Structure 1
Amino acid sequence: MTEQQDTDIPDDIAVPDDVALAEAVVAPGEFRAAMARFPSGVVVVTTRCQDGIPRGFTASSFCSVSLEPPMVLVCLANSADSAWSFARCDRFAVSVLTPVHQPLALRFATKGTDKFAAGGMRLGPGGLPTVERALSELDCEAYARHPAGDHTVLIGRVTGVRLGEGSPMVYYDRDFRTLA
C-alpha cells in the first residue's frame, strides 16, 4: 500500500469542473455581507513613489504567507488612488493598527484625500512612512504581484520588524471594533 500525499484528493470527494465553477454566481452584496462576518486586523500600507511622494492605503486583507523566508501579503483595490504606485514600488511598509488609530485608518481608506497631511506618521529606519505607535511595523521588499479580480495581491518579503504595545483594532461587520 502506498502512502497518500496530503495534496492528493480522495476519490470520494467530487471536484467540480471548470464549467461548473464558471456558472457559479454570487451577488456582490451577498458576498460583501458574508465577508463582513469575518473579523480581521487593520493595517496601513505605505510606500514612496520614485519622485519621493508618499502613498498609502488601509487594508483588512493582510496575512502572513511564509516563515522561511518571512513573507506577507496584502490586497489592494485596483481603483485605489495609490494602486499605480504600489504596482511599481520596490519597497513598502505595513503598520498594524490599534484602536486609537481609527481616524487614521479612515483617512487612509478615503479616496482623494492627502493621507499624510494630518500627522500620525513617522519615518521608519528605511525611510518609508509608518504609523506612530503602531502595534507592529513590517518593512518589506516587493516580491510578487498577482492580479485577482478587481484587486492586486501584493506579496512582500519582510526585511525588518518593530514591535509596539497595545491591543489590535479589528474590523468586523463593516465597523472598527476592539477585543474584549
Structure 2
Amino acid sequence: MKRPTIDSKDYRDAMARYAGHVQIATTVHEGVRRGVTVTAACSVSDNPGTLLVCLNHSNPLNELFIQSGIFALNSLMAVHQPLAVAFSGLDHLDVDARFALAKWDTITTGAPTLVGAMAVFDCRLIEARPVATHTIMIGEVIGIRIGEPGPALLYMDRGYHTV
C-alpha cells in the first residue's frame, strides 16, 4: 500500500506561517557549552513539570545535549533577538563569542541559563528519541526562573516578531 506524501518545501512553507516562541536550548558537558536557537518546544505536563524540545540531529554538536543528560530552555524577549541570531549560527560566531553576548548563570543542573530571560526551565533529560531529521528531547523541569514581563520574541514568516 502506497503512503501519501507531501512535498517537504510545501511543508516548510506552511510551517513558516506557524508562530513559535523563540528560545535558546543550552547544555554543558565536561566543561563544553552548547546553545541552539529553537522554536520547536512546548509543555508536555505540569505534574511533574515536563517539556519537550526538538533539535536537528544532523549537527553532530547537538549530541552534547544527550551526553550531558541536562538542558535549559531559555525563553527569549524581544530584546534578545541578537542572541537568537547568534545561537542560530547565522553570524558564524564560535561558542564562546555567542555566550559572551549575554550574562549567563545556572539554576539547578549546571546548564547555562540566560539572566533576564522571560522564563527559564532547567531540565533533567528523561528521554531522547530520534524522529525523522530531529531528536525529540523530553525533560523533567527541576529548576525554574520567571523573569520580568515584556514583549516575547516570536518567529513567523521566516522573520522575528514581537507580541
TM-score by length of 2: 0.90
CA deviations over 1:68-111 (Å, ceiling 9, x no partner):
11100000001235311012221111100001111111111117
Between the aligned residues of both structures, percent identity stands at 36
Query: Aligned partners of 1:152, 1:143: CA distance in 2, in Å?
Result: 13
Q: Which has the higher strand share?
A: 2
1:115 corresponds in structure 2 to 95
> How far 1:115 sits from its partner (Å)?
3.2
1:138 corresponds in structure 2 to 121
> How far 1:125 sits from its partner (Å)?
2.4
Query: Aligned partners of 2:117, 2:60: CA distance in 1, in Å?
Result: 23
Answer yes or no: is the 8 Å Cα contact 1:121–1:129 preserved in 2: no
Q: Find the residue that maps to 2:117 and give its secondary structure.
A: coil
Q: Report the AA paired with residue 119 of structure 1.
A: L
TM-score by length of 1: 0.82
CA deviations over 1:3-33 (Å, ceiling 9, x no partner):
xxxxxxxxxxxxxxxx45xx21211110000
Q: Find the residue that maps to 1:128 and give its secondary structure.
A: coil
Q: Flag structure 2 segments of 5+ consecutive residues without an equivalent.
A: none
2:34 corresponds in structure 1 to 55
Query: Aligned partners of 2:152, 2:19: CA distance in 1, in Å?
Result: 12
Q: Which runs of 4+ in 1 moved over 3 A?
A: none
2:139 corresponds in structure 1 to 156
Q: Report the AA paired with residue 48 of structure 1.
A: V
Query: Aligned partners of 1:175, 1:139: CA distance in 2, in Å?
Result: 27
Query: Aligned partners of 1:80, 1:123: CA distance in 2, in Å?
Result: 25
